[in-house]
Amino acid sequence: MTGIVNNNGHKTLAINCMPDHIHIFIGYNVNQLIPNLVENIKTSSNAWEKKEEKLSKYKFEWQRGYEAFSHSRSQLDTVVKYIQNQEQHQKKSFRNEYLEILRKIDIKYQYEYLFEFFENGGVWD
């Protein structure tokens, strides 16, 4: 995915893949819209995964949607460390981690517009 991001004219600052989600922190190039970048990441990585003949016993599939946040340069080290330490955050479910981020940066949300959350093979309501 680093190659996909960089080949789209952006700079990968940090990336960490977890079983049920991914964090990518990029130095954003304003010449490409974020939805187009996300589509390229999803399409290209999906094609690569299929070509690699099942890296996992589970079917790989991207969920609809994505979340993008902007950060100031003064937060760069904090965000990179957060992404690099995802294993620590995995002590929480992705659902709880995600909702904690939204609350921390004071983003109002409605449950019907959130991701489908998967844990222990089931969908969170």
* CATH number of the domain to which 87 belongs: 3.30.70
Taking the alpha carbons at both ends of the chain, their separation in whole angstroms is: 30
> Could you give the number of structural domains in the chain?
1
Q: Quote the CA–CA distance of 2 and 108 in Å, as a whole number.
A: 31
Q: Tokens in use for 17?
A: 């893949």
At 12 the pLDDT is 95
Would you say the pTM of this structure is higher than 0.85?
A: no
Whole-number pLDDT of residue 5: 94
List the chain pLDDT tens, one digit each, 125 residues: 899 999 999 999 999 887 777 889 999 999 999 999 999 999 998 888 777 766 666 677 787 878 888 888 898 898 899 888 876 655 667 777 778 888 888 888 777 777 666 544 444 43
Count of C-beta atoms within a 10 Å radius of residue 41 = 19
Enclosing domain of residue 78: 2-124
**pLDDT reported for residue 78:** 87
